[in-house]
Amino acid sequence: MAVKSIRRELLEEDQYERLGHVYEFVTTHNRTTIDDEELAALGVVRSTNLDVDNAAPFDFEPRFFRPCYDRELELQQVGRERSRIWGETLDVGKYTNPEWVPNVPYRNPEFRAMWFSCCYDELALLQAEKDEEEGRESDGYTTPHLDDFPYPACALRPETYTSGPAFVAQRETKPHMAIVLCDATVAPEDKILLSELHGCVSLMRYQIRSGRFADHHTKPVMAYTMQWETQGRITQAHYDAKINHLVIRQSRILNLSGPEPTSDAYILLRWMVNQPVGNTQYKDTEPEEARDTGLPNNSSEPKIVVSECS
């Protein structure tokens, strides 16, 4: 066990260093998107698209977050009750004036995120009450206050994009995290936003630095991006120790445009109220109840591969 512990510590150190190269790139480059050639140079792989439209998609790639389909009526009701918040931004008349131009571009996605935040808080409260009544441990997330969680839940690059709340899995055996990102840029389908890579890498570096999940070979994260106030996207990221690369999967661009919450808005909300799943823990430390997930098993001992990151 001592040898395995040392190997895993070295593996985490290696991953942290490699993620550090990516973090340095996103914090020193002034642009909005990154193409695949640049991603490859950073050791980042864009894998197959993340299917967010089907409850049980035919998918051979790892999925570490299960969207909420068993509370659909509750989710729709909460969303409708808060539909008024959907249209509240700093600018009035945006839907009636064809020449409307926003005064503060990066604030508009922040206001679009308000509806999701309010709905999430209500749904999380309802689920917590239900879990308490049934005497079971929650599979949800907590949203720590900034004073208790100073990083990365802070402004990332306020002139172009900011971060909203960070979500930490309530179960101590789950290394999953997520974050809301607010970006004034609408991304092309074939490119990742700098903010999306920045947010995911920040979460992953935090998880490694915390030292709480050394017995997990995978520490998956998810980003929910509000692009302007008209589009959105879901990004799943994890570091695959077997290929020694950061792996990104993204949904299609979601339509969030209009005076009322769209069907795509409910898709995004359904993914925000997700359940952390997947094999993330080494087999020799994995709890018995966590093993049967129906997902690809990636829990064999990875090896450290020494190669250039850039």
- The residue that leads in pLDDT, 217 or 290, is 217
Domain boundaries, the chain: 2-92+102-290
pLDDT digits 0-9 by tens, 97-110? 656 555 555 577 88
Q: CA-CA distance, 185 to 195, in Å (whole number)? A: 10
pLDDT on residue 307: 31
pLDDT digits 0-9 by tens, 246-286? 999 999 999 998 889 999 999 999 999 999 999 898 887 65
Mean pLDDT of 46-72: 89
Does pLDDT of 173 surpass 50?
A: yes
pLDDT on residue 5: 80
Q: Which two tokens stand for residue 278?
A: 């997947």
Q: How many helices (H) and strands (E) does the chain have?
A: 7, 12
Mean pLDDT of 35-41: 92
CA-CA-CA-CA dihedral for 5, 6, 9, 11, to nearest 10: -110
Q: Which residues pair with 275 in a beta bridge?
A: 66
CA 98 to chain centre: 34
Does pLDDT of 151 surpass 80?
A: no
- The residue that leads in pLDDT, 37 or 147, is 37
pLDDT band of residue 232 (cuts 50, 70, 90) is very high
Does pLDDT of 55 surpass 60?
A: yes
Q: Is 74 exposed, middle or buried (0-12, 13-18, 19+ CB in 10 A)?
A: middle
pLDDT band of residue 235 (cuts 50, 70, 90) is very high
Does pLDDT of 51 surpass 60?
A: yes
Does pLDDT of 290 surpass 50?
A: no
Vertex 238 angle, CA 234 and 244, to 5°: 140
- The residue that leads in pLDDT, 266 or 158, is 266
pLDDT on residue 293: 44
Residue 63 contacts residue 277 (beta carbons within 8 Å)? yes
pLDDT on residue 196: 95
DSSP state of 19: H
Q: Is 309 exposed, middle or buried (0-12, 13-18, 19+ CB in 10 A)?
A: middle
pLDDT band of residue 210 (cuts 50, 70, 90) is confident
130: three-class secondary structure by DSSP:
helix
Smallest CA-to-CA distance from 193 within 230, 164, 155, 235 is with 235
Smallest CA-to-CA distance from 222 within 268, 157, 289, 279 is with 268
pLDDT band of residue 1 (cuts 50, 70, 90) is low
Residue 138 contacts residue 189 (beta carbons within 8 Å)? no
Q: CA-CA distance, 107 to 87, in Å (whole number)? A: 14
Output the pTM of the full model: 0.84
The percent of the chain in helix, strand and coil, each rounded to the nearest 5, is 35, 20, 45
pLDDT on residue 295: 45
